[in-house]
Structure 1
Amino acid sequence: MSTIDLKDRRILFELDTNARQSLKQISKKVGVSKNAVFSRIEKLKEEGIIQNFYTVYNPYILGFSAIAICLKFQYANLSVKQKIIDFFVSYENSWYVSSAEGNYDAVVTVWVQEFDRFFAFYNQFLQKYGKFIKGIDFRCFFQAEHYSSSYLLGEEHSEKERNKIARIGPGKRVEFDKTDIRIMQILAFDARISLTDIANRVKCNIRTVKNRMSNLMKEGVIQAFRIGIDETKIGCKYVNVDVFLGDIEQKKKVLTYVRSIPCLLEMFTSISTVDLQLLFCVKNVEDVHEIMQGVSNAFPFTIKNYEYIYKTGLFKWNWIPGELCREV
């Protein structure tokens, strides 16, 4: 585990709030020189704490929706498990692929535009690996909220910073062309890339890139520019909590309550047996127990039950459906 101070944490937080901020902008907020910010970022990258800079999109308004596939294995040795993971990683429309412990052994989320194509992919999976699957749960995500990494700052975070939320879900359909897709494809894996470099790769001028990005942000396609953090390097772990409500009419109140928890990173609502799916970044499992006990105490006749899923490995995290990029 790496040791980082409050300045490092503030830099990480600022990058996770807006990864396209300049060194000068970050230096003013953190209270160190521009050169110091550069050196600290490079060190955080070298130590593997910063894994990448990525862009959060809302593919729903591009014509896609998201479905999670939660898998429980049987008769599967390590080799088989890896083959299953590789199968989903290689699928062009997979968004998120992880191994897990708890109720499931793997959790996969895929972008879906045409259900017949998804069904064909799913059948292919069953034909190859169905005998190794003990159980499958599907979740059709309706809406997701992604919060800033307030847990990095502890008590230092402000409510204003907490309210910077990236929202993914249904909305007015947005028109786009190949130039938009090329720009999105580049930003998906390098949110800090310069406008000049994007223009060179897309083969257009800087003004066009800037205007296109501005429009994509205004229309809600681009939701945020963030960083991938290896939580294990700073002594943390990701824990998913599936929440089951006994009184669905209290759902809005529960949502408002949990949004204020600094270590909450994501919240999903879906068409499934699960009413809320929460993702926390915590130091240990006991922290999650304490958090959920607090939620249960606040809503004693609403929280019926909750279950944990522990992420053990992340193999893919791609915010842009590969199907969009196929002909670009």
Structure 2
Amino acid sequence: MIIIDLRDRKILFYLLQDSRQSLKSLGKKVGISRELASYRIRRLINKKIIKNFTVDVYNEKLGYSLVNYYYKFTNISPNIKDEIINFFINNKYTTYVSSIEGIYDFQVEFFMGDPHEFESLFDEIKRKYHNYLSIEGVETWIRGEYFNYPFLLNDKINTVKSSGGGWGDNLDSISDLDFKILTVLAKDSRIPTKKIANKMNSTVSIINYRIKNLIKKRIILSYTINVDWPKIGYRWFHLRINLSDYGKKNDVVKHIRKNPHLIRILKGLVQKTDIHCTFLLKNVEQLRAITEEISSKFPNIITNYQFYSAFNLHKQHYMVPKLLISRSPFNRAKIN
């Protein structure tokens, strides 16, 4: 584990909110010079704490669902497990692949566009790995609240960074140029606009206009970073809470929102839980303290808790593949 000081934690905090901001703006927020901000960012990159600068794309606005599959391994050997992991890493439909512990062993998130293509993919998975993978759960998120990592600043007050969901929103189509811009920003959200223009054989003014329009349409939700959290002592913990009195759900959620380690609260379909929330914590003891505190606050309301935690992230990439852009989407709303 790498120990980082408060200034580095502040840099991570502000880059998570906006990774495309200028060094001058970032330095002012952190309380350091532009040059020192640049040096510290390079150091965080060299230590591989910052994995990359990227963009949060609202894929649902383009007509593509994100579907989570949760698996348990059966009759598994190390070689077969590695083969399965590599299959999902290299699959063009996957956005997130992770080894987890708790109630599941393995999590894969897929883009779903054309349902017929999706069916073909899962037929292939069953043919290859039916004897080794048991599907334990399937979820499609329809709404979420996302919080702003206040624990990085040792702040005990949490606030909502963004909220919403793709279901019910009007869908948008994008041009080839828009897709190319998104692809470049997904790989490096700090790339200068002039470099993007040169790559696209376009002009700075056109690229700026296109980016502003993507933000206005909420196809670009934010510029952010991917952090290797285990390197600084944190892991993702997903907590599921079932209630004996569903009418108390809002009270429980309101209380959980105050936790500075809460990163998101998600609502899904085909979900075997009443409340699904995600924390960044140092260990399972911190999670246990959270559940005990909730139970103390709401006696006789909580039926049970379940959790799973990612310990090895194999793939994380949330840019819609080109092959999906060119196909008919599984539309859930009216296209503009």
**TMscore range, shorter length:** over 0.9
TM-score by length of 1: 0.93
Match of 2:99 in 1: 99
Distance between the aligned counterparts of 1:208 and 1:250, measured in 2?
Answer: 51
Specify the alignment match of 1:39 in structure 2: 39
Q: Supply the distance in 2 between the matched residues of 1:60 and 1:22 (Cα, whole angstroms).
A: 29
Q: Given the superposition, is the C-alpha separation of residues 298 and 174 from structure 1 closer, same or farther in structure 2, using an over 3 Å criterion? A: farther
Which residue of the partner structure matches residue 241 of structure 1?
Answer: 239
Which deviations, in whole Å up to 9, do the C-alpha atoms of 1:4-58 show, x marking residues without a partner?
A: 1111111110111100111000111111111111111111111111111111111
1:135-183 deviation per Cα after TM superposition (whole angstroms, max 9, x unaligned): 431112212333222221112x665xx3322644321212321111111
**Cα RMSD (Å):** 1.9
- Match runs of 1:221-240 below 5 Å: 221-240=219-238
Shift of residue 301 of structure 1? 4.1
The amino acid that maps onto 1:71 is Y
Aligned to 2:131, the other structure's residue is in SS state helix
Look up the equivalent residue of 2:136 and give its one-letter code.
Answer: I
Alignment partner, residue 283 of structure 2? 284
Q: Given the alignment of the two structures, is residue 149 of structure 1 paired with residue 149 of structure 2, yes or no?
A: yes
**In 1, Cα distance between the equivalents of 2:191 and 2:164?**
23
Aligned to 1:163: 160
CA distance in structure 1 between the aligned counterparts of 2:94 and 2:2, rounded to whole angstroms: 31
C-alpha distance in structure 1 between counterparts of 2:184 and 2:64, whole Å: 19
Equivalent residues of 1:199, 1:206 under 8 A apart: yes
Q: Distance in 2 between matches of 1:314 and 1:121?
A: 22
Which residue does the alignment assign to 1:140? 140
Q: Please name the residue that 2:64 is paired with.
A: 64
Which residue of structure 2 lines up, in the alignment, with residue 118 of structure 1?
118
Query: Hey, what does 1:218 align to over in structure 2?
Result: 216
Moved more, 139-148 or 112-121: 139-148
**How many percent identity over aligned positions?**
30
Equivalent AA in structure 1 for residue 23 of structure 2 = L
Aligned length: 325
1:323, CA displacement in angstroms? Answer: 4.2
The residue number in structure 1 matching 2:254 is 256
Question: Could you tell me whether the CA contact under 8 Å between 1:26 and 1:37 is conserved in 2?
Answer: yes
Q: Does structure 1 residue 12 correspond to structure 2 residue 9?
A: no
- Aligned counterpart, 2:331: none
What is the rounded CA distance, in whole Å, between the counterparts of 1:186 and 1:254 in structure 2?
A: 41
Report the CA distance between 1:113 and its aligned residue: 1.5
Counterpart for residue 318 of structure 1: 317
The offset of 1:324, in angstroms, is 5.1
Cα drift, residue 286 of structure 1: 0.9
Contact 1:54 1:191 in 2 (8 A): yes
User: Aligned equivalents of 1:223 and 1:195: distance in 2?
Assistant: 18
SS state of the match for residue 56, structure 2? strand
* Partner SS, residue 130 of structure 2: helix
Q: Comparing 34-43 with 80-89, which one deviates more in the overlay? A: 80-89
Alpha-carbon contact 2:157-2:260 (below 8 Å) kept: no
Q: Deviation per CA, 1:110-139, whole angstroms, max 9, x where unpaired?
A: 111122211110111011001012343111
Partner of 1:73: 73
- Is 2:291 the partner of 1:306? no
**Residue-by-residue CA offset, 1:71-103 (whole Å, 9 max, x unaligned):** 000111122112111222222221211011111
Q: Cα 1:266–1:324, aligned 2, differ >3 Å: closer, same or farther?
A: farther
* 1:178 and 2:176 matched: yes
Which runs of no fewer than 5 residues in structure 1 stay unpaired?
none
2:210 corresponds to which letter in structure 1? R
Indicate the residue corresponding to 1:27 in structure 2.
27
> How many angstroms does 1:298 deviate by?
3.0
Letter in 2 for 1:245: L
SS at match of 1:131: coil
